[in-house]
Amino acid sequence: MPAPQIEYPIHVASAAEFEEALKVRIHVFVDIQKFSRELEPDEHDPTATHIVVLCPRTDKVIGTLRILKAQGAAKIGRVVVMPEYQGLGLGKKMMAYAEQHIVANLDKYQGCEAIKLGSQMDKIRFYESCGYARKGEVFDDDGSPHVWMVKDVKSLMQSS
């Protein structure tokens, strides 16, 4: 008999969960990937919608991302899952939840025709597997090469 599927709760973060999410971001982006500490948190966090995934046993935040309103697009960023929980599909589930949230709240993201994100080069395949397409040239983000990736909102609305 196969092992039961573990459900990891994913939802919009509470204020307390946002504080935990910041700790996750600092651990992965600053401690592990060596991005600048000054970037966590940044000026966009107060107006962003923060999505979290929780460990079902402890209710601790183990993954997070944020959604910002950008010109003509919703922008997903700061996508991170704690290393010990990577490989379980939680990043994809958070991305799908974020996309559903954007579509359900299009009034908040007025004029949003696309979802975009800046991908680290080694994460491109992950975002392609989520339906995003590479757009534009490589750019530098705090010393790390990134590329813009986009997904048409209309494609999400047709599949809803």
Q: In this predicted model, what pLDDT tens digit does every residue of 71-87 receive, in sequence order?
A: 889 999 999 999 999 99
Structure tokens at 138: 């490589």
- The DSSP element (H or E) to which 4 belongs, if any, is none
pLDDT band at 159 (very low <50, low <70, confident <90, very high): low
Residue 3: what pLDDT?
58
Residue by residue, what is the 3-state secondary structure of the chain? CCCCCCCCCEEECCHHHHHHHHHHHHHHHHHHCCCCHHHCCCCCHHHCEEEEEECCCCCCEEEEEEEEEECCEEEEEEEEECHHHCCCCHHHHHHHHHHHHHHHCCCCCCCCCEEEEEEEHHHHHHHHHCCCEEEEEEEEECCEEEEEEEEEHHHHHHHC
Span 118-139, average pLDDT: 97
Span 85-114, average pLDDT: 94
Q: What's the one-letter identity of residue 116?
A: K
Residue 20: what pLDDT?
98
Span 14-33, average pLDDT: 98
Q: Is 131 exposed, middle or buried (0-12, 13-18, 19+ CB in 10 A)?
A: middle
pLDDT band at 101 (very low <50, low <70, confident <90, very high): very high
pLDDT band at 39 (very low <50, low <70, confident <90, very high): very high
In angstroms, the CA 25 to CA 81 distance is 9
Span 120-142, average pLDDT: 97
Q: What's the one-letter identity of residue 153?
A: V
Tallying the residues shown for the chain, one arrives at 160
Span 6-23, average pLDDT: 97
Q: Per DSSP, what are the bridge partners of residue 12?
A: 51
In angstroms, the CA 140 to CA 46 distance is 24
